[in-house]
Amino acid sequence: MLRLMRLLCIRHAESTMNAAGVWQGQADPPLSRVGRGQARALARRLAESGEARGLAALATSDLRRARQTAEILGERLELCPLPLPALRERDVGAWSGRSHAQIAARWPGDLRRFRAGEELRPGGGESRAEFQARLRAALAELAALAARRGGRPVAVVTHLGVLRALRPAASPGNAQTLWLDLPQRCA
């Protein structure tokens, strides 16, 4: 039997590396001043709109930019953020801290292959298969968490790469949300 797991997915607010226009991967920059304001504004909107009412939990990537976003949201929504390392962004190895132009100049073939969805380790980082396996483990953890809390929706603060892996056409900006209903097998 299948049932749906409902997730309120939240892309972390702007980090200092977002502001600098460089790839982050699993680098661990903090939120920028703008990002802290984005997170506060999102927390206010979610609380005032009632969109976050009934959430079972607030899970977050353990990377600082996501954690800081989740802490600001959790304070307003009265939820304690639960860090899950499996929700981290894809590791892009040596591409981290570099601009798109720098990556294109140094690794043009790899960047084309990456954009085409081919299997490779960008910058020596994590393969697509490894990334997807890690996300499947994260989704299993989230499904178990939701089940323990009556099947209610779970909020998840994570990264653009994770959101695109869950919904390929997704392109939320910093501190933007999208709802996902994911099928889960149940016994």
**DSSP string across 10-43:** EEPPPBHHHHHTB--TT--PPBPHHHHHHHHHHH
Strand spans (E) along the chain: 2-11, 57-60, 81-83, 154-158, 177-185
The pLDDT value given to residue 187: 47
Residue positions annotated with a catalytic role: 12, 89
Strand partners, 9: 156, 178
How far apart, in whole angstroms, are the C-alpha atoms of residue 94 and residue 128? 16
Tokens of 163: 């959101």
DSSP-derived secondary structure letter, 89: P
Q: pLDDT digit of tens for each residue in the chain (187 aa)?
A: 557 899 999 999 999 999 999 999 999 999 999 999 999 999 999 999 999 999 999 999 999 999 999 999 999 999 999 999 999 999 999 999 999 999 999 999 999 999 998 999 999 999 999 999 999 999 999 999 999 999 999 999 999 999 999 999 999 999 999 999 988 765 4
